[in-house]
Structure 1
Amino acid sequence: MEKILIEISGTEDVVYSADWQVTVDGETYSYQEEGKAPAYYAYEGNAIQGSIKTLSEGRLEVTIQKGGNRSRSSTQGKGSTLNIAVR
C-alpha cells in the first residue's frame, strides 16, 4: 500500500466535483469531493480511479502520483468530465 497524492489545478477558482474509487488490499472505497482549484488530496491504497466534472467555466488539470507512477489529464469547459486512473 502506498500514498496516493492528487493535485487539482488549472484556472483559479474553477469549481469541480470528483468521485474517487480507492483500492486497498482488494477492497474498494468510494469518496466524493467538491471544491475549487487549486486543491490537494491524499489517500493510502494500491490503486485509484476517478471521475472529475467541471462545474464552472475554466480549465481543470488533475495530477495523480503514486510511487514512481504519475498520471496527468486536463479538461476545459463547464460540464466536461475527465476519467483518470493510477495502479
Structure 2
Amino acid sequence: MKRRVVVTGLGAVTSVGNNVQDMWEAIKAGKNGIDYITLFDTSDMKVKIAGEVKNLNPEDYLDKRDVKRLDRTIILGLIAAQEAY
C-alpha cells in the first residue's frame, strides 16, 4: 500500500544549529558539531566527545516550570516541534 506524506514544517535543535536555518548553513559550510562534552562530568567515562546542543536557553521557548520538570530530550523535541509549527 502506498502512502503519501506531506511535510508541513521543519524544526531542528542540533549540535550545529538551534534552528533549521542555522543548522542548514552549518551543514553547507561543512561545520562539525562534535566536541568535548561539557554538560556533565565525563571523567569516569570512556567517551568524552559528542554532538551537544549548546547556546540554547530552554526558558526562551518553554515555561520555567516545564523546563524544571521535563527531561532535556523532551525539551529539545518540544523546541524543534514549536519551530516546525
Tell me which interval the TM-score lies in, with the shorter structure as reference length: under 0.3
**Bigger fraction of residues in helix:** 2
Specify which structure has the higher proportion of strand: 1
TM-score relative to the length of structure 2 = 0.23
Flag the structure with larger Rg.
Answer: 2
Normalising by the residue count of structure 1, what TM-score does the alignment of the two structures yield? 0.23
Q: Which has the higher contact order (CA 8 A, sep 6+)?
A: 2
